[in-house]
Structure 1
Amino acid sequence: MPITLNPSNSDTRVFKVAAVQAEPVWLDLKGSVEKTIAIIRAASAAGAKIIGFPEVFIPGYPWTIWANNFTTCQPILKEYQANALAVHSPEMESICLAAKFASATVVLGFAERDGSSLYISQVTITADGKIANHRQKIKPTGYEKVVFGDGKAQTIHNVVQTELGRIGSLSCWEHLQPFLKCHFYAQHPQIFVGGWPPASPHKGEGPYSISSEAWRTMSQVVAIEGGCYGIISTQVMSQAGAEKLKVANFQWLSVPGGGFACIYGPDGRPLTESLEPSAEGILYADISLDKIGEAKMMAEMTGNDSRPDLFRIVVNGRNKDIIEYENYAESKAAAARSREVDNVASGKTF
């Protein structure tokens, strides 16, 4: 079926977007929520209409698991789980209310507590204060698997229609998942938020792929491949934060530091100057969707530059629960108890 984007990639309206580079309030749910709300208010006061936060900004990225054995990690992970954020909670409601008062769309990365399980999650909160999209990182990376579970099937539907355009989200090494990215591009994102933990320039130890240079490049490639704006949001880690997480001597991190936030245009060009890696701040860029049209005159990777007769992917985006009820009434009651977010990103209306 022909696709009509509204607003289109010829829309010349100019609006401001914001990429957050900030230190989490480590292992502190209350403090994290308060800081998140303060950042939303500050970005809104500067005129931002779309605000992107880092991966698991609440309550911070647990580099602890990469730098220590499990015995050392266990007390920290117990505190981490206790301060993770539930989707249906007063804390999330207060963040949604802040987005509504700010009249801004917010993409928030957080450690999600779901029962006794944790997930690396993102929500897209639209300017009316409603969660339009709830997703979980499809596959935790490396030692993250010790702490976090695989994302549910609906997580692949990660692009939301808003008044200002179609807004998508990716978390960390999802930028390297080729099949996920293909599905992402097929949803016609016009702007995306790439959420990242703190990372340092490569120092010669460990893989180059675990570095701020590599991670910025991964996000830049998504902007180029997708022909979309990229809001790249990252965490910062102070000396005090590193000591609290027991990573002060971790050779893959330079502390204080960790930040590498940026905003990319749909042709991949940086639209912002970099902050110092140890500095907290918000980067802003004035953008308009017509620049996407210019970029896609060169290539439209899931449109007229694709070859579905040669290459295509088969997708299952429906969640499967551990228990399935044959009786419809029981099934409906169970769904009401689980209270999954009505994920508008899975809709086909553009």
Structure 2
Amino acid sequence: MSNSPQVRVAVVQAAPVLFNLEGTLERVASWTARAANTGARLVLFPEAFIPAYPRGLGFGFIVGSRSDAGRRLWQLYNEQSVELPGPAIERLGGIARAHGVFLSIGVIERDRLTRGTLYCTQLYFGPEGALLAKHRKLKPTGSERLIWGEGDGSTLSTVDTPFGRIGGLICWENYMPLARAAMYAKGVDIYLAPTADSRDTWQATMRHIGNEGRCFVLGCNQFVTRDMYPPEVLREEALPAETPHIMSRGGSVIISPFGEVLAGPLWGEEGVLTADLDLGMLTRARLDFDPCGHYGRPDIFRLEVDERERPGATFLRQEAPGDAVSPLPARSR
């Protein structure tokens, strides 16, 4: 009986240089090099790593009004975010290419047309440096809804690699059963779950997804302390007095297709988690449970997923009298 192929993967638990695009890109380069030096072929960074997950900030929102200081803070956040295409994308692709890895990283994406909408986005780069796919968070949670727009089904993305299909969801999207089912139906082998949730209950979610999806799961979070916030941010909005020193304690973890912990969870520090994934385990795990295969009941349950892009407007034009009216996309994303 032949040995199953294996692949080493790495999860980076670190903090960005908060609200600083260029400084964070330098950190991405350094941490990717460290992860690649372990032999990893896939490297995952957390949700909203560039330029920051703005934990503890309210951006001046009160029901019925907004503050000038909050608007200035959001402008700073906006200006340090990422446009596609753009120089930051080229830099990230260069980092992936320099180390020959598949690289997935959470960014705050600025709409290129209006420059007034931000999306919480996960990017996927190949070892040749190309941007292969992106996923925009479908449903920002709680106060995230005040600063981020909603993605649509056109970015429910997966990427084929020599070691299986990768894809996933961001943070509490992983609590959306139908979104998970859509990813399982796409045949995800290595499920990426970047997050900002450092609660103990998140660990149960990661293990459940591995067991339910019969896939490997890479959970990835930041380690952030209060003193990492730059003065220019705190001039616009002070953190609440009760804010603890450790604002995100991490909890990054790697899970097997049986829901078993392979590495981590990592708490209370920055670091790189690695694991050698036995790809044959995917087949063995699906012997008795394949959620969208032999264990599905499409005769009873059906899931319809709309993957069409939903622009804010569609413009119609008529070339000449008598010509058919042709729809034009409002913009290219």
SS where residue 262 of structure 2 aligns?
coil
Q: Distance in 2 between matches of 1:30 and 1:20?
A: 18
**Aligned counterpart, 1:105:** 102
Match of residue 59, structure 1, among 51, 68, 73: 51
**Aligned counterpart, 1:144:** 144
Comparing 325-334 and 69-78, the one that deviates more: 325-334
Match of residue 264, structure 1, among 248, 252, 255: 255
Contact 1:16–1:48 (CA<8 Å) still a contact in 2? yes
Q: Deviations over 1:65-111 (max 9, x none)?
A: 46975546443322111111112111110110110121111111111
**Structure with higher strand content:** 2
Q: Identify if the C-alpha distance between structure 1 residues 308 and 249 changes in structure 2 by more than 3 Å, giving closer, same or farther.
A: farther
- 1:131 deviates by 1.2
SS where residue 121 of structure 2 aligns?
strand
Comparing 107-116 and 316-325, the one that deviates more: 316-325
Gaps of 5+ in 1: 1-9, 200-211, 341-350
Q: Distance in 2 between matches of 1:331 and 1:29?
A: 40
Contact 2:6–2:277 (CA<8 Å) still a contact in 1? yes
Q: Deviations over 1:248-301 (max 9, x none)?
A: 6456x6626421111111111111133332x11110001121011121112111
Letter in 2 for 1:129: G
SS where residue 299 of structure 2 aligns?
coil
- 1:247 deviates by 3.5
Residue correspondence of structure 1 range 250-261 to structure 2 within 5 A: 250=242, 255=246, 257-261=248-252
Q: Identify if the C-alpha distance between structure 1 residues 129 and 255 changes in structure 2 by more than 3 Å, giving closer, same or farther.
A: same
SS where residue 181 of structure 1 aligns?
helix
1:85 aligns with 2:82: yes
SS where residue 261 of structure 2 aligns?
coil
**Aligned counterpart, 1:122:** 122
Gaps of 5+ in 2: 320-324
Q: Distance in 1 between matches of 2:98 and 2:318?
A: 40
**Structure with higher helix content:** 1
Q: Identify if the C-alpha distance between structure 1 residues 100 and 328 changes in structure 2 by more than 3 Å, giving closer, same or farther.
A: farther
1:285 aligns with 2:295: no
SS where residue 297 of structure 2 aligns?
coil
Q: Identify if the C-alpha distance between structure 1 residues 239 and 317 changes in structure 2 by more than 3 Å, giving closer, same or farther.
A: same
| Alignment TM-score, normalising by the size of structure 2 | 0.87
| Alignment TM-score, normalising by the size of structure 1 | 0.83
**Aligned counterpart, 1:348:** none
Contact 2:8–2:274 (CA<8 Å) still a contact in 1? yes
Contact 1:67–1:250 (CA<8 Å) still a contact in 2? no
Q: Distance in 1 between matches of 2:202 and 2:245?
A: 15
**Aligned counterpart, 1:50:** 42
Contact 1:262–1:283 (CA<8 Å) still a contact in 2? yes
Letter in 2 for 1:274: P
Q: Identify if the C-alpha distance between structure 1 residues 266 and 324 changes in structure 2 by more than 3 Å, giving closer, same or farther.
A: same
**Aligned counterpart, 1:307:** 297
**Aligned counterpart, 1:237:** 224
Q: Identify if the C-alpha distance between structure 1 residues 233 and 171 changes in structure 2 by more than 3 Å, giving closer, same or farther.
A: same
**Aligned counterpart, 2:310:** 320
Q: Identify if the C-alpha distance between structure 1 residues 255 and 313 changes in structure 2 by more than 3 Å, giving closer, same or farther.
A: same
Q: Identify if the C-alpha distance between structure 1 residues 198 and 221 changes in structure 2 by more than 3 Å, giving closer, same or farther.
A: closer
Percent identity between matched residues is: 28
- 1:152 deviates by 2.5
Contact 1:105–1:127 (CA<8 Å) still a contact in 2? yes
Letter in 1 for 2:297: R
Q: Identify if the C-alpha distance between structure 1 residues 315 and 119 changes in structure 2 by more than 3 Å, giving closer, same or farther.
A: same
Q: Deviations over 1:200-255 (max 9, x none)?
A: xxxxxxxxxxxx2122222222111111111111111123125756446456x662
Q: Identify if the C-alpha distance between structure 1 residues 298 and 67 changes in structure 2 by more than 3 Å, giving closer, same or farther.
A: farther
Q: Distance in 1 between matches of 2:32 and 2:292?
A: 34
Contact 2:225–2:245 (CA<8 Å) still a contact in 1? no
User: Over aligned residue pairs, what C-alpha RMSD do you find?
Assistant: 2.5
**Aligned counterpart, 1:184:** 183
Letter in 2 for 1:224: N
- 1:23 deviates by 1.0
Q: Distance in 2 between matches of 1:38 and 1:331?
A: 49
Match of residue 266, structure 2, among 265, 275, 279: 275
Q: Distance in 2 between matches of 1:249 and 1:224?
A: 40
SS where residue 72 of structure 2 aligns?
helix
Contact 2:315–2:328 (CA<8 Å) still a contact in 1? no
Q: Distance in 2 between matches of 1:20 and 1:151?
A: 25
**Aligned counterpart, 1:5:** none
